[in-house]
Amino acid sequence: MNPLYVSGACATALLVVGGLATPIGDWYKNLRKPSWQPPNWLFGPAWTVILGLAAWSAAIAWTAAPDSAARTSVVILFAVNALCHFLWSPLFFALKRPDWALGEVVFLWGSLVALLVGLAPISPFAALLIVPYFLWVSFAAVLNWSIVRLNGPFA
């Protein structure tokens, strides 16, 4: 099976599930947000590009891995990242707990650091494709922190 098809399907599943777990209702609309927050319409295209690059990265790393142990490492790194990626939206939006999401984003960010470090020896290009994801999550973490600061405490 073509690794790009598999990674593309996984990225698509994350996009769909993430979108379904992100209800933009009155609760979210009424939160105070920093003036520098991007418009809501930008998040969908940004995540589509970022997860598309991540899927491409996974396929490249899988193909470049020198042996089955390295391929297993690639799968584990991306699986942990997918889990961390998946958990953020339900915490923030469905449970209405930006404070919990802020705690979880640390793990998402850490999973991206692990991807950068773990992929670099296998394929520097695959690691480079993760950089936009890392930068976006870093930005999103600061945005999440700002929303918690402007609106907390949450209960």
Check residue 50 and give its pLDDT. Answer: 97
The residue-averaged pLDDT of 97-110 equals 97
Q: Is the pLDDT of residue 24 over 90?
A: no
| Cα 112 to Cα 54: distance, rounded to the nearest angstrom | 10
Structure confidence by residue, pLDDT tens digits, 42-78: 999 999 999 999 999 999 999 999 999 999 999 999 9
Domains and CATH numbers, the chain: 3-151 (1.20.1260.100)
- The reply to whether the predicted model has a pTM over 0.85 is yes
Structure token pair of residue 101:
């999401």
What Å distances lie between residue 112 and 41, 82, 93, 154, CA to CA?
Answer: 24, 10, 22, 27
Indicate the DSSP class of residue 132: H
